Amino acid sequence: GTGGAVTLSVGASSTASGGSINLHSGPAPSGTGGNIYLKPGDGSTDGAVYFVNPSTGSNYGVISDSTFDFSGQSTLSMSFSGTVDISSSTTVTIQGTGGVDFGDSYAYGFETGTATVGTVTSGEISINKMTGVLTSEFSNLGAGVTDSFEVVNTRVSASSIVMMTVRDNGGCKPVVTKVEPAANRFFVDVENMAATACTSAFTLNFMVVN
């Protein structure tokens, strides 16, 4: 049959604030204070904790073992005076139909690294990062000569956007003429547009956008 229901209600008010329900757990001055548990019923489909709009009686939020859903609200504000840490053992997805607004805040902590072309195999480099700095294999790239190399990077797909700029010119005029993404790699051409050869290795910044 159907399990019995327990209802907690307090008095209504037509002028002042409505009554409140306070749940207090036990204190422990020399130990750990008591906890408050909200436990929905189990069954073929487990229950959840619902938040109900007092005016309409409709649910505007639900918390279950797999859901934290407040899509019934047009806006939701969460604010903290300290650090907020959101972590996942797999993937964290942030999605907004109208966009994601960082509120003019400083964003940092991006995945980055450094590597040198030709360290293991000539004309090739491996760096599995979203951003980084690449150092050229050659320190004396001739005038008008193109340095072509392959960057192995598991963050890249054929549809990725890979942006690259010159960081240090190596005493010449290296110009990036091609950045071609592919599955798990991208291909780069850099031409020395100077009238003389480079005097040292040049470096390049890159960033992968998916």
Got the DSSP string for 96-152?
Answer: -TT----TT-------EEEEETTSSSTTEEE---SEEEEE-S-S-PPTT-EEEEEEE
pLDDT tens digit string along 116-167?
Answer: 999 999 999 999 999 999 999 999 999 999 999 999 999 999 999 999 999 9
Q: What is the distance, to the nearest Å, from the Cα of residue 129 to the centroid of all Cα atoms in its chain?
A: 14
Query: Residue 5 pLDDT more than 80?
Result: no
Which residue type sits at 115?
A
**Which residues 6+ apart lie within 8 Å of 93 measured at CB?**
none
Question: Cα–Cα–Cα angle for 198, 204, 208, nearest 5°?
Answer: 155
Neighbours of 134 (CB within 10 A): 23
**How far is it, in rounded angstroms, from Cα 114 to Cα 48?**
48
Whole-structure pTM value: 0.74
Residue pLDDT, tens place only, 167-206: 999 999 999 999 999 999 999 999 999 999 999 999 999 9
| Nearest of 110, 118, 200 to residue 152 by alpha carbon | 118
Gap between the Cα atoms of 202 and 91, Å rounded: 36
Contacts of 159 (CB under 8 A, 6+ apart): 181, 210
pLDDT digits (tens, 9 = 90+) for 82-104: 999 999 999 999 988 899 999 99
Of 132, 143, 128, 123, the C-alpha closest to 189 is 123
- Cβ contact 141:147 at 8 Å: yes
